[in-house]
Every structure is written in structure tokens, then in C-alpha cells.
């Protein structure tokens, strides 16, 4: 095998493990929720109709929308809702500022819903796998919840150590999973080959025409078969378009179709299997190994989502919608392997709450769907703006293409609204809470910037006045961080006031976040000489660039500015925010922002500045 072919094979195996873990484990619960409620009578026409709806949902939503259309909308090779939001925002930046603000709002809300999905997915996936013990013997039913919580605890506990060591097994395990579910389904299909008639769309159309009300209701369960579809796009940057597409069409789609059709064939022969049709596909001797394999697959699916939560959080912080959080790198080779302790344990706590409140995968299925379908809808809306304004396609074609998918998304969303009271409120509540936090942080930062700007002093004028009667110069380099370029940092004024010295070299550094994933090395720094060995430096960051300031400043070596790490000091201003009555935000939002600002991780930790090189000076700011 040639090197390129070997590389493609490695990416396909990796994509099977990371990209398709969530959608690959949806066979555990989708048909169980459609038929388990007793709403759909067990007739051959109904079973064929439901299977046809499931197959064409996979075809239209995953194969056509995500794999064919959405994967084309890469943002410099990166995917995911944050990348799509940035791409759509750039497409209309110069055309409709008001539209851009509205688009940013719904895009950020979609990102917030990811956290709601992130709570439900590990809970329902692991719980569905462990519930297979109930099929082995009903006596193990009481062990399902404790064992689920124990598995989840172990999963979140190991995040601190990173997953690079065991991550290489994810792909092979998921390939084994897809092989096993395909064989289980194929065995039943071979016994009842007439079930393959459900591949024809006429059975889906006939079911909807005969029972439109029932068809609308079951869409809320059918949508479970496409949970994880967003992961195809989110992992675009890790694996590339072609490996993701090939893995779907060659491995995942055939395996899922065979298994769903096998479950359908089993239900026609044994309607009582509706309580758990997936595990009842297996012979008795295979049940325990299948439960173990399903649990491994569920853990892998959950791991991909946890990793996604860390990555999305870091991107949102870079874009300025969340305060700095402690970010730990768990791999010396892969900078994408990160761990955010606060996010990890908050996510774990909410998942434990979900398991204890809902108690079963069937109850959790009622909470599932609203967040997923809203995210799917938002992706479709953003795709329209990318296709129309970014790619320049004709308006009629854009409306026709995205309108078709929007109609499908809204049908699924409308059906899931029926489950709002039963549990759909839970991920909406989580997403809404995160949305309030994000918008409060963004608005509070704008107020803080305005407050600092009111009392700001022009940097070139200030330096000119300082050097009329220059203070003593000491060896080394001082790096002063400032939110705005051209403005005197508070830390500089405090340093001159109290220490009455200036370093031999002085850098006034401002970080700028951009709505692109990466900023190339050539565009990373913008340097302006200010005279007297002082420079204004603007560091440009994409939302996937590492926030490593010392490493970014190493690029100054090619511009005649030599930084010796042993003689470089970083002067940071620590602003203490004081809410005031009657101006700016609502009082409760100002207090929330002040609390978030106080609890934010220190700039030194976030920017990877050595602690022994930091001088931090505080100031009070009223907003």
C-alpha cells in the first residue's frame, strides 16, 4: 500500500472512531423508542413505513445535507458550528450589518445548545448500552443506573490524563462495532428478505399519507437515528472531507441500514421484542459480549462529545464570548488534546443529574431531539448565507436547496416540541443558561472596554512626555498587555509611579481575535516602532490558534527584536469590576459579569506565561 493510501486508510479508521461514534450507537435506542411506546401498531405496512422513514432520513439529512452539501462549507479547512458561524458572518459583513448581528445571535445560541446535547448524549448512550443487562437477566435491572454512573465517572476522571494513549484503539473498536451490528442485522434480513422493500420511498410516503398525525408524532423518535450528524462537520478539520465521506458511504451507512432493517424484520416476527429490539437481535450466548461492546462504543461516542465540548469552549473563549478558563494540554505532540477542568466536571455533574432525574434511556429520549433539531435548523440557515453570499450562487437555487432541508429540519423540530414538557425543556434550559452567560460576558466586555477607553491616554503622546525627562533604564524586556492598541496600559503607569524605572526594551501588546480558524505565521504579528526601543505589537489569533503569548512573540526575532526569556517580564493589569446602578446592563447582569470577571482564569495561565515572569498590578473599573 502506498503512503497516500496508507494515510487515507488511517484517517478512515480514525473517522470511524471519532466522527461516527454518536450516530453509530443510535441503533441502540431509535426503533425501541418508535415502537416501544405502543403508538405504532405492528403491521407489515407500518414496520415497512417506519423503516423507510428512518432510511430516507439518514439519506436526506446525513448523506445529502451534511456529507454532500455542508462538508463543502469549510472555513480554511475547519468545520463545526463555530466555523460555520464565522464563515456566514464574514459572507455578509459588508452587505448587511444588522443581519450579521442577528446571525451571530442565532449562531451563538446554536453553539450553546451543543452543551445541552452534550449532557443528554453521554447519558442516553451509556444508559442504553448498560440496559442490555436487563435483556440478559431482569435481575440485573437494579444495577443499570449505578453501573452507568460508575462508567461515566471513570470516563470523566481519565480526561485529566488525556486520551492520546487509548485513542488509537477507538477506530478499531468502532470498526468492530459496525461489523457486528451489520452482521446481526444481515442475519435477520436474510431470514426475512422482504423487509428490503422499505428501501423504496413509497413506503415512507404511504405511511405518512395514511397516518399523518402519527407520522408527525414519531418523527420525534425517528430523529434519534441522525443524532451525531453535526459531528461529521465538526470533525472536518481533523480528518478531511474525503475520509469522512468514504467512511460514511462504505462503512457506517451500510452497517446502520442493515441493523435497522434487521430490527424491523425481528419486530415483524416477534412484536414483543419492541422493549429492546437491538439486543434481542443477538443469540443468548452473544448477549454479554454484545453489552460489553455496546458499552465500549457508547464510551467512545461520549468521549468524542467531551473532546468536542473542550474544543468548542476554547474557540468561544478566543472569540470573546466566555471568560478565560484554565486550559491544560494533555499531549506534548498534539496541541488539540486539551483538558478544561471546570467544563469537565460541570458536564459530569449535569450528566449525573440527567441520569438520576430521567432514570432510563426511554425517558431521556423525551429530552433528546429539541437541541439537536434546533442545531440542525441553525446550520441550514447559516449554510444559506454561505452558499448565497460566500459562494455567490443564484438566489433561487439557494432558496430551493436550503429551503428543502429547512422544511425537513422544521418538521423534526416541530415533532420534538411535543416532548417539551416530558423532558425537552432540560437541554433547552442548559443551552439557555449558557446563552445568558455568553451574551452577558460579551456585553460586559464591551462596557468594560468603553469604561477603560473613557479614561485612556494616548500611548505615543504619553511616551513622548516620559522621554522628555526619562526614567532610569534597567536591563531586560518589559511586555505590557493592553486591550486596545495605542492606549497606555494601566500597568505601565503604575510601574512608573511606584518603581520609577523603564526596561531597556518595551513591548505594548494587544491580542486580536478573528473569525477564522487559523492565522498564518506571516500575518500573526503587526509591529509598529514607537521609538526609544519601544514597539506596539498586535498579535492576531484565529479561534483555533493556541493562546500562547511567549511563543507568538518569538516571531519578533525576524524583525530585529530579540527576546531573552530569562530577562523578559510581563506586566499585566488585573481589573476589578464594580457594578453601578442606572447605567449599562441590567443590575443582575452587571453583577453576573463582575462575578464571571472575578472568577476568570488569570491572563498569565491562559496565555501560558511563566509565573515567575509575571508582574500583576490591579485597578478598579466601574461599569
Residue 38 is given by DSSP the state: S
For strand 568-578 and strand 472-481, is the pairing parallel, antiparallel, or unpaired? Answer: parallel
pLDDT band at 570 (very low <50, low <70, confident <90, very high): very high
pLDDT band at 517 (very low <50, low <70, confident <90, very high): confident
Q: Which residue is it, cell 431521556? A: 364
CA atoms within 13 A on the CB side of 549: 27
The count of other CB atoms within 10 Å of the CB of residue 289 is 11
pLDDT at 337: 72
Among 57, 400, 359, smallest CA distance to 218 is for 57
Measured on CA atoms in the order 244, 245, 247, 251, is the torsion positive or negative?
Answer: positive
Q: How far apart are CA 618 and CA 200, in angstroms?
A: 69
Q: Residue 320: what pLDDT?
A: 87
pLDDT-derived band at 75 (thresholds 50, 70, 90) equals confident
Mean pLDDT of 119-136: 89
The C-alpha angle with vertex 100 and arms to 99 and 103, in degrees rounded to 5, equals: 85
> What is residue 1's predicted lDDT score, i.e. its pLDDT?
42
163: pLDDT strictly greater than 70: no
- What torsion, rounded to 10 degrees, do the Cα atoms 431, 101, 439, 391 define? 50
> Residue 449 pLDDT > 90, yes or no?
no
Give the number of residues written for the chain: 623
- Provide the pLDDT for residue 61: 95
Residue with cell 505594548: 508
Confidence of residue 47 (pLDDT cuts 50, 70, 90): very high
Residue that is written with C-alpha cell 488539540 in the block: 336
Q: Tell me the three cell numbers of residue 83.
A: 466555523
Return the closest-CA partner of residue 31 out of 261, 353, 374, 304. Answer: 261
| Cα-Cα end-to-end distance for the chain | 64
What value does the mean pLDDT take over residues 255-284? 93
pLDDT classification of 378: cutoffs 50, 70, 90: very high
- Strands (E) across 172-330 are located at 328-329
pLDDT-derived band at 95, boundaries 50, 70, 90? confident
Residue 505 has pLDDT above 50, yes or no: yes
- pLDDT of 161 reads 77
Specify the pLDDT at position 164.
Answer: 57
Looking at residue 480, what is its pLDDT? 94
Over residues 267-295, the mean pLDDT reads 92
The distance of Cα 617 from the centroid of its chain, to the nearest Å, equals: 35
Across the range 176-203, mean pLDDT stands at: 96
Strand, coil or helix: 476: strand
Q: What is the pLDDT of residue 18?
A: 80
As beta bridge partners, residue 511 has: 539
Query: Is the predicted pLDDT of residue 621 greater than 80, yes or no?
Result: no
**Residue 102: is its pLDDT beyond 50?**
yes
CA atoms of 417 and 217, how far apart (whole Å): 10
What's the whole-model pTM score?
0.84
Distance between CA atoms of 228 and 174, rounded to whole angstroms? 15
Condensed to tens digits (0 to 9), the pLDDT of residues 138-157 reads: 777 788 999 999 999 999 99
Lowest pLDDT segment from 387-396, 402-411, 437-446, 571-580: 571-580
Report the alpha-carbon distance of residue 492 to residue 480 in Å, rounded.
7
pLDDT value, residue 335:
55
Spatial distance between the Cα atoms of 516 and 78, rounded to a whole number of angstroms:
9
Contact (Cβ atoms closer than 8 angstroms) between residue 164 and residue 332 = no
In the prediction, which pLDDT does 126 show? 93
Q: Predicted confidence band at 82 (pLDDT cuts at 50, 70, 90)?
A: confident
Q: Of 314, 335, 330, which is closest to residue 82 (Cα–Cα)?
A: 314
Q: By three-state DSSP, how is residue 616 classified?
A: strand
SS3 19: coil
Per the DSSP assignment, residues forming a β-bridge with 390 are none
Q: What is the pLDDT of residue 328?
A: 81
Instruction: Return d(Cα 329, Cα 546) in angstroms, integer.
Output: 10
The pLDDT mean for the chain works out to 88
DSSP at 487: B
The pLDDT score that the predictor gives to residue 157 is 92
Number of H helices, E strands in the chain: 28, 8
**Closest among 219, 205, 247 to 23, alpha carbons compared:** 247
Nearest CA to 8 out of 248, 242, 238, 173 is that of 242
Q: What's the confidence (pLDDT) of residue 2?
A: 41
pLDDT band for position 52 (50/70/90)?
very high
24-33, 379-388, 481-490, 597-606: least confidently modelled range: 597-606
Burial of 579 (0-12, 13-18, 19+ CB in 10 A): buried
Amino acid at each position: 500500500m502506498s503512503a497516500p493510501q496508507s494515510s487515507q486508510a488511517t484517517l478512515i479508521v480514525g473517522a470511524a472512531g471519532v466522527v461516527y461514534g454518536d450516530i453509530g450507537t443510535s441503533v441502540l435506542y431509535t426503533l425501541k423508542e418508535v415502537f416501544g411506546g405502543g403508538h405504532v401498531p405492528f403491521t407489515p405496512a407500518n414496520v415497512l413505513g417506519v423503516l423507510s422513514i428512518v432510511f430516507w432520513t439518514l439519506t436526506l439529512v446525513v448523506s445529502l445535507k451534511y456529507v454532500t452539501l455542508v462538508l463543502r462549507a469549510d472555513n480554511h479547512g475547519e468545520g463545526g458550528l463555530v466555523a460555520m458561524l464565522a464563515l456566514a458572518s464574514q459572507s455578509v459583513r459588508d452587505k448587511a450589518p444588522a443581519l450579521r448581528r442577528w446571525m451571530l445571535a442565532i449562531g451563538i445560541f446554536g453553539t450553546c445548545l451543543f452543551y445541552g446535547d452534550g449532557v443528554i448524549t453521554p447519558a442516553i448512550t451509556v444508559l442504553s448500552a448498560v440496559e442490555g443487562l436487563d435483556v440478559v437477566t431482569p435481575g440485573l435491572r437494579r444495577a443499570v443506573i449505578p453501573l452507568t454512573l460508575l462508567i461515566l465517572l471513570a470516563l470523566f476522571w481519565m480526561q485529566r490524563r488525556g486520551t492520546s494513549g487509548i485513542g488509537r484503539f477507538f477506530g478499531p473498536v468502532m470498526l468492530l462495532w459496525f461489523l457486528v451490528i451489520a452482521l446481526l442485522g444481515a442475519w435477520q434480513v436474510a431470514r426475512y428478505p422482504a423487509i428490503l422493500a422499505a428501501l423504496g420511498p413509497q413506503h415512507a410516503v404511504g405511511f405518512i399519507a395514511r397516518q399523518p398525525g402519527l407520522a408527525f408524532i414519531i418523527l420525534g423518535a425517528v430523529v434519534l437515528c441522525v443524532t451525531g450528524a453535526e459531528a461529521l462537520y465538526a470533525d472536518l478539520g481533523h480528518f478531511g472531507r474525503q475520509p469522512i465521506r468514504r467512511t460514511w458511504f462504505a462503512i457506517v451507512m451500510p452497517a446502520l441500514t442493515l441493523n435497522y432493517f434487521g430490527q424491523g424484520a425481528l419486530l415483524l416476527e416477534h412484536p414483543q421484542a419492541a422493549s429492546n429490539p437491538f439486543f434481542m437481535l443477538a443469540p443468548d450466548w452473544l448477549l454479554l459480549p454484545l453489552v460489553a461492546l455496546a458499552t465500549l462504543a457508547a464510551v467512545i461516542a461520549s468521549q468524542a462529545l467531551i473532546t468536542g465540548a473542550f474544543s468548542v469552549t476554547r474557540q468561544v473563549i478566543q472569540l470573546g464570548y466566555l471568560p478565560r478558563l484554565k486550559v491544560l494540554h494533555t499531549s506534548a505532540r498534539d496541541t488539540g488534546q486539551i483538558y478544561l477542568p471546570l467544563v469537565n466536571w460541570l458536564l459530569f455533574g449535569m450528566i449525573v443529574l440527567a441520569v438520576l432525574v430521567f432514570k432510563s434511556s426511554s425517558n431521556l429520549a423525551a429530552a433528546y431531539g429539541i437541541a439537536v433539531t434546533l442545531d440542525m435548523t441553525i446550520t441550514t440557515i447559516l449554510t444559506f448565507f454561505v452558499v448565497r453570499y460566500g459562494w455567490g450562487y443564484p438566489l433561487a437555487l439557494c432558496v430551493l436547496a436550503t429551503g428543502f432541508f429547512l422544511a425537513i429540519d422544521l418538521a423534526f423540530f416541530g415533532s420534538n416540541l411535543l416532548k417539551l414538557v416530558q423532558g425537552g425543556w432540560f437541554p433547552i434550559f442548559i443551552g439557555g443558561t449558557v446563552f445568558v452567560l455568553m451574551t452577558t460576558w460579551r456585553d460586559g466586555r464591551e462596557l468594560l472596554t468603553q469604561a477603560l477607553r473613557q479614561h485612556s491616554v494616548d500611548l505615543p503622546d504619553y511616551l513622548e512626555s516620559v522621554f522628555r525627562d526619562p526614567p532610569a533604564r534597567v536591563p531586560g524586556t518589559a511586555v505590557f498587555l493592553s486591550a486596545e492598541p495605542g492606549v497606555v496600559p494601566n500597568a505601565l503607569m503604575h510601574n512608573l509611579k511606584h518603581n520609577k524605572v523603564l526596561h531597556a526594551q518595551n513591548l505594548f501588546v494587544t491580542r486580536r481575535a478573528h473569525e477564522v480558524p487559523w492565522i498564518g505565521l506571516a500575518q500573526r504579528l503587526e509591529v509598529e516602532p514607537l521609538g526609544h526601543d519601544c514597539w506596539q505589537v498586535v498579535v492576531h489569533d484565529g479561534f483555533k490558534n493556541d493562546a500562547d503569548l511567549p511563543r507568538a512573540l518569538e516571531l519578533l526575532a525576524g524583525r530585529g527584536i530579540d527576546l531573552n526569556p530569562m530577562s523578559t517580564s510581563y506586566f499585566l493589569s488585573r481589573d476589578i469590576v464594580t457594578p453601578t446602578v442606572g447605567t449599562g446592563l441590567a443590575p443582575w447582569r452587571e453583577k453576573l459579569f463582575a462575578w464571571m470577571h472575578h472568577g476568570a482564569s488569570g491572563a498569565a495561565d491562559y496565555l501560558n506565561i511563566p509565573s515567575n515572569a509575571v508582574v500583576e498590578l490591579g485597578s478598579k473599573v466601574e461599569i
